[in-house]
Each structure stands twice: as structure tokens, then as C-alpha cells.
Amino acid sequence: MEVKPRSVTLVCTGLFLVFFALTAHSAVVKKTSSGICHPEDSSYYSRIKNFTSYQSLDACLASGGRLPKNYSSSSQADRGDSRGYSRSRFGHGWSDMDGDCQDSRQETLVAQSTAPVRFESNDKCRVASGRWISPFTGKVIHDPSAMDIDHVVPLKWAWKHGADKWSDSKREQFANDPANLISVELSLNRQKGAKGPDAWLPPANQCEYVLRFIRVAKKYGLQTTAALSKVRQQVCSR
């Protein structure tokens, strides 16, 4: 059967559109081997060929990544909601608050491991292995790359409930406060996203999780809701 040029053109066009649709849904954020998270508006984004893909900037940063130096989002609305949330309003990734080379992610891994950790090098800046029990499931995990550091009270949730009025230094303190950080599975932390307990609960230890959420929120004077109190009553009365 003879294939007409117009048919070939339509087929090629269709394949192109399928390819474009697939690539359009590829990860927005590229994480380099050096641990830098490049959103689409990063000046180096198009040059990066070897990277780990993440669907959001928050997910990349939670995995231990950091923002490029002097990075400033060209559009805050692209990173958050209409009220101007952006992850960079809470600091550029995990901070090394005490200057000992271990950022907040590494210090959380060290503090929450139930066995002595092993470091990647003698400088003891990055954790290579340990033994963590996820408070979300009770599962034992040995590989830190399989874990995220979860903000019990998500940064975007905090922004919507009062953190938008804080100083930059208070927001950075909140984002790196050990009271607000727990070591959990990658998949569950990303499933949770920016949801509060009225929209998402972990599979295990739900009462403990809700009580910790409320303690952190009260510590920083964040606005709590009737829905949050209702969830506490439901999960802590079982």
C-alpha cells in the first residue's frame, strides 16, 4: 500500500506531540552529583545533562540537596501559592547552623540513628550508613539515600498559617529545628507533601505524629484549626 506524504507528515507530527507530552511531564528539578538542585529557572538548567530527577524543589531539597549559590526564583508563584510561598523563604536548603560541616539533614540522621553511623569520609560531614526506624511505618532502614528528612509541620503549611509574617532568620530556624525533623521513607514524605494531619496521616504512630505536629505549631505560634483538633481527638482516643 502506498503511503502518502501527507500521512507520513501526520504520523511524524503525532509522534512528536507524544514525545513532547512525555518530556513535558519529566521532572522539573535536576539534582547534580554535587547535590545542587536546579529548578527550571536556574541559569545552569539547560547545561545539566547528568542528574537525578525530582518532581518538585521541595522533594529535591528534602533528599539532601541544596539550592545554587545566589539563586533567586524568578517567579514565586511558580514555587508556591498565590500568597507568595517559596522554599527559599526558609533558607537555601539545609543549613549548617553550628558550622561543623554537618548540615541539618546530616545532624538529623546522626541523632536519630539507633546504631553508630558510618561516614563517607574522615571529615564526618556526610552519613554513609546507619540504622533508622521510620516513625511513619516502623520499618528499619540502613541506607540514608532511601530516606527524606520530613518537616513534621511542612514549610508551606506553616507559611499559610502564620510563617509568612516571620523574619527570614526565624523561618530558617524553623526549617532546621530538630523538633520539626524526622527521618522517614522517601515515598511517604513525598506522598505527604505540604498536607496537615487533617489531609494526611502516616500508616503508623498517628497519635504521636499529630501531637508532635501540634507541639511544633504551638512552639512557633502558628495558627491551628478545628479540623486539626478533631483529628487529634479521633486518632488519640483509639
Number of CB atoms found within 10 A of residue 231's CB: 21
> Is the model's pLDDT at 155 over the cut of 90?
yes
54 within 8 A of 62, measured Cβ to Cβ = no
> Is the model's pLDDT at 25 over the cut of 60?
no
193 within 8 A of 121, measured Cβ to Cβ = no
pTM of the predicted protein model = 0.71
pLDDT at position 238 is 78
For range 182-207, the mean pLDDT: 96
Quick: pLDDT tens for 93-141.
999 989 999 999 999 999 999 999 999 999 999 999 999 999 999 999 9
Cite the DSSP H helix spans in 25-167: 57-62, 76-79, 104-112, 155-160
> Is the model's pLDDT at 150 over the cut of 70?
yes
pLDDT at position 84 is 87
Higher-scoring residue by pLDDT: 70, 38: 38
Looking at the chain, how many residues does it have?
A: 238
Note the maximum CA span of the chain: 75
C-alpha cell of residue 179:
523538633
- Mean pLDDT, all residues of the chain: 85
| Rounded CA separation 155/176 (Å) | 11
C-alpha cell of residue 193:
507533601
> Is the model's pLDDT at 225 over the cut of 50?
yes
pLDDT at position 147 is 95
pLDDT at position 4 is 54
Distance of CA 31 to CAs 49, 53, 54, 62, Å? 10, 6, 7, 12
Quick: pLDDT tens for 170-182.
999 999 999 999 9
188 within 8 A of 136, measured Cβ to Cβ = yes
pLDDT at position 90 is 96
**DSSP assignments along 155-173, one per residue:** HHHHHHTTGGGS-HHHHHH
pLDDT at position 72 is 53
- Per-residue pLDDT band at 6 (split at 50, 70, 90): low
Quick: pLDDT tens for 70-94.
665 543 333 334 368 999 999 989 9
Q: Is 141 helix (H, G, I), strand (E, B) or coil?
A: strand
For range 17-27, the mean pLDDT: 42
> Is the model's pLDDT at 17 over the cut of 60?
no
For range 146-165, the mean pLDDT: 96
